[in-house]
Structure 1
Amino acid sequence: MGKLPPSMRSAKVPLSLLKSTPTPAPSPSPMPHYLTMKSKSKPKTKTSYPNPNPNIGAIKPQPMLFSSPSLSSAISTSTSLLSSPSPPSINSLLQSFCRAGATSADSISFFNHLASSTSFAPDKSAFHILLYHCISSSSDISPVLRVFNLMSESNHPPDAASLDLSIRALCSSPKSPRLDDACSLILKSPVKPDEYTYNFLVRRLARDRPVSSVNHFIEHVRSKLSIQPNVVTYTILIDAWCRHGNLREATRLVKMLSDNGFKPDAYVYNTIMKGHCMLDDCGGVMDVYNKMKDEGVEPDLVTYNTLLFGLSKAGMMPSAKRIMKLMADSGQFPDVVTYTSLMNGMCRKGEAQEARALLTEMEEKGLEPNDCTYNTLVMGLCKAQHLDEAIELYHVMIIKGMKMDGPTYASLVRTLCRAGRISDAYEVFDFVIESKSLPEVSAYTGLESSIKWVQKRKP
């Protein structure tokens, strides 16, 4: 219990499979999904550029016009196609040659051939087709810089959208994110990144690299390009330090944010609160909330839900209920996450029946319970020995097409086996397999351990 994401028959369990596969160690419970939800106060971090590349997105791929990546063959074929009564567009020729598997060098040569031998005046989309192909077909960024040079010599010099496309393509490389190349391109590009592209790359670095290396990149960009971090950049770093459990550094960055003329908003404070929740530091959560109020920052729904989660997880239910009343008085009305957090806290305190009553209350208010709600209640009812009610909610999960998480499955199967309802335990096993809630080995392991416990208890 305490896991709040962001969710029929009896054949004998093949013990040989189980014996050969060690029981996986339980993973730490993830934070609930609301701790990474966007709040109204979060600055926009996503560029609004239209998709500049016909290779990806809504534009459908053109039919293949070339059967091989041979440059000489493509030149010959294109000459024939362009002299036909219904010639294809130049961009179609370029895109088709790239899709045929041409190297980045050959695609650039083909582009230059088309530009020099016809009345073709390359537009921005043609350059972007070439950019995307050079990124996907080459292991370094030199072809990308060549395309940027071609653009600089044309009527369509590279702009922020061109660099944004390139950085995002590098970071979403199918094999693995090319973060080093993306960092290098930012520094070598003839055009500076805008705040959206810059913060996008910082966020990707913070996801995959040590925070110290992200700091080094930020300082390097500051010195080389005179790009200063903004409130979004600081918030990304604060979140990264919180995820690593270093709240001291995260708090220092909040002060640095203020020292640089940025006022921390609700999103920043919510991020710090999330970090305290991850460390089960309920007092720290309350301190951040009080600081928000002192600084004149109005708490939003995510703030209250994070606070409620921390209090409920710590078993401080009277305080949690007071906060729920306070949020309603401030115009922030409880949602599914709010109720699920309270149910989780009640179940931890052994008040499963009271938590079950909250389900009825939230449904009466028009709120739709989710997978997390039902998983929390089923586990709480099992631990409180209210098996029939747990089975009732389990059947509702089946009807609604929900999935059961690992701890809930283990709790329900264990409770059924100890009650002598082995066939029902097999039915639950079938459900989690058919619904793909759990891997087969994990489901087998949970069922086998429960059955073995029952067998040992027999006289």
Structure 2
Amino acid sequence: MGKISPSLRTSFPVTGLLKNPTSSPTPSVPLPRHVPSSSKKPPSKKKQPKTDRTPDSNSMMAFKSPSLSDAKKTFNSILSTSPAQQLDPRFHNALLQSFSLVSSTPQDSLSFLDYMTKTHPSFIPNRYTYHILLSHSCKSPSDSNLSSLRKTLDLMTHDGFPPDQSSVDLVVRSLCSVGREDLAVEMVKEFSLKHSPPDSFTYNFFIRHLSKTRVLSSVYSLIEDLQNSVNLKPDLVTYTILIDSVCRSKNLREATRLLGVLRESGFKPDCFLYNTIMKGYCILDSGSEVIGVYKKMMEDGVEPDLVTYNTLIYGLSKAGRVNESRKFLRVMAEMGHFPDAITYTSLMNGMCRKGDALGALELLEEMEQKGCSPNSCTYNTLLHGLGKSRFLDKGVELYEMMKSSGMKLETASYATFVRALCRADRIAEAYGVFDYAVESKSLTDVAAYSALESSLKWLKKTRGQGTEL
């Protein structure tokens, strides 16, 4: 990616801003854990010959008309050309799925299933067959009172497939996906009383969805209603979802109250929950409260993880308490959690906010010496800080290295850097940064030009007024 220039070396002993000249920047999102280590190419799979038992993709697309009578004719035509597939329930389910995508009403899909079973008795529906109908009924606007859904549930029970937890999960998720939350509430109660109550995963999915789409008071009412009517009780995950919701809305007073309710219910806060509350205080730039949560966490015997320390350092740095946050680099290392790119970038961001962009650049040396590779966010943070502090020569060199490595510019760093170049009357360089932002698709053409245009207008105005740049 390029070596640091002599001018940067004379200011501070940076050993190399970027490593591995031919490699791409470190992604900010971690790679999946289970990645094959072998570089050998996996053996190619031989193409299996098509058999009568394999559903033909062309036949799956045969249902183009919502007409039930047309569907019956098409079904008979397909089966007459592939008689062996009459024994394969997967084939029949695929046909039912295909018709349900185009049929006008769930009732037509039910009628089509009835025709399939009567015409070809060898086809025996399974649970997946009925789940196709359940999903169609939930998403169909024509089934406003869910009468087809209830018919399907009755049919399942009659045919030996009583609705279970997978059925209620499908119903809840399908109804929520089309904004029919009131009906989802109704079906959760009905399932709990007649069939099977939802498991904790479905229940907490539902609460999380409602906390994003409804006011919190109505979610509280629902939780209480489900607890009293069908004995569905919130667990630790439920409280964590609620606390996360109020923290995002900056209502930390309510988060504290919920923490008390959680304890009264017999649950002990875990590391994830403390991290959630800590992030809430970070949003409010409340450094003292962030430290308070950390201390309470330690008092309760909950061991912090890497996210805890990263959140703590981010919150303190954002609140301007950079020196205090740097002390936690040693603390977290002693606890076995070594600083990563997020840790250092948070510190650099705090230092740049305080006007110490050169100190943030020096921190890059420490970061690399400890074997931590910076990522695109790290460099954009530094570029933003250097531009804001008017260290343009160092900013240009950093930008050139980002450019040579193919790193994309972020909106804030691009706008700040271009503005600083224009104010220093380095217009040609500002246009060069604009060209790279567009060519690398860092920003849209409109966004990139808008930032450049506003900076040029400011320059023209100050020149006309004879203002000192």
Compute the TM-score of the two structures, normalised by the length of structure 2: 0.80
1:269 positional shift: 0.8
Query: Could you tell me which of 120, 143, 151 is aligned with 2:148?
Result: 143
AA of the residue aligned to 1:187: K
1:339 counterpart SS class? helix
Counterpart of 2:137 in structure 1 is 134
Q: 1:80 to 1:414 in 2, by over 3 A?
A: closer
Give matches, 1:25-424, under 5 Å: 63-88=60-85, 89-119=91-121, 120-138=123-141, 140=144, 141-173=146-178, 177-189=179-191, 190-424=195-429
Residues 81 and 87, structure 1, Cα contact 8 Å, conserved in 2: no
- Comparing 386-395 and 370-379, the one that deviates more: 386-395
Runs of 5+ in structure 2 lacking a partner?
A: 1-27, 30-54, 86-90
Q: Which of 453, 456, 464 is 1:448 aligned to?
A: 453
- Alpha-carbon shift at residue 160 of structure 1 (Å): 0.9
Report the Cα offset of residue 401 of structure 1.
4.1
Displacement after TM superposition at 1:79 (Å): 3.0
Q: Specify the SS of the correspondent of 2:390.
A: coil
Q: Which 5+ residue runs of structure 1 have no aligned equivalent?
A: 1-32, 35-58
The CA deviation at 1:235 is: 0.5
User: Residue by residue, what CA displacement relative to the aligned partner does 1:375-415 show, whole Å, maximum 9, x if unpaired?
Assistant: 21101111222212222332343344443333212210111
| Deviation larger for 308-317 or 351-360 | 351-360
Distance in structure 2 (CA, Å) of the matches to 1:394 and 1:178? 50
Distance, in Å, in 2 between the alignment partners of 1:64 and 1:229 is 44
Identity %: 50
Shift of 1:224: 2.0
Note the C-alpha offset of 1:323: 1.2
- What is the deviation of 1:277? 0.8
What amino acid is aligned across from residue 148 of structure 1 in structure 2? L
Shift of 1:298: 0.8
TM superposition shift of 1:107: 0.5
Greater RCO, 1 or 2 (C-alpha within 8 Å, sep 6+): 1
2:442 equivalent among 409, 428, 437: 437
When residues 262 and 350 of structure 1 are mapped into structure 2, their CA distance, relative to the original with a 3 A threshold, is: same
User: 1:34-86 deviations in whole A, cap 9, x for unaligned?
Assistant: 9xxxxxxxxxxxxxxxxxxxxxxxx9966323342211122233234334453
Compare 438-447 and 230-239 and name the one that shifted more: 438-447
Deviations 1:405-438 (A, max 9, x none): 3321221011110121112212222333344433
Compute the TM-score of the two structures, normalised by the length of structure 1. Answer: 0.81
Aligned-residue Cα RMSD (Å) equals: 2.3
In the TM superposition, residue 324 of structure 1 has moved relative to its aligned partner by 1.3
Q: Distance in 2 between matches of 1:130 and 1:216?
A: 31
After the TM superposition, which segments of 4 or more aligned residues of structure 1 sit over 4 Å from their partners?
59-62
Larger Rg: 2
User: Following TM superposition, by how much is the alpha carbon of 1:355 offset from its aligned partner in structure 2, in angstroms?
Assistant: 1.2
Counterpart CA distance in 2 for 1:289 and 1:394 is 37
The question of whether the paired residues in 2 share the 8 Å contact of 1:64 and 1:100 is answered with no
Aligned length: 400
**Post-superposition shift, 1:308?**
0.4
Q: Which amino acid aligns with 2:95?
A: L
Q: How does 1:7-26 map to 2 (within 5 A)?
A: none
The AA in structure 1 aligned to 2:457 is K
User: Aligned letter for 1:63?
Assistant: M
| Larger displacement relative to structure 2 (302-311 or 122-131) | 122-131
1:188-230 deviation per Cα after TM superposition (whole angstroms, max 9, x unaligned): 3332111000101111111222211211221121122210000
Q: Which moved more, 1:357-366 or 1:226-235?
A: 357-366
Partner Cα distance (1:400, 1:126) in 2: 53
Q: 1:7-28 CA deviation, whole Å, 9 max, x = no partner?
A: xxxxxxxxxxxxxxxxxxxxxx
1:224 and 1:351, CA in 2 relative to 1: closer, same or farther beyond 3 A?
Answer: same
- How far the C-alpha of 1:146 sits from its partner, in A, is 2.4
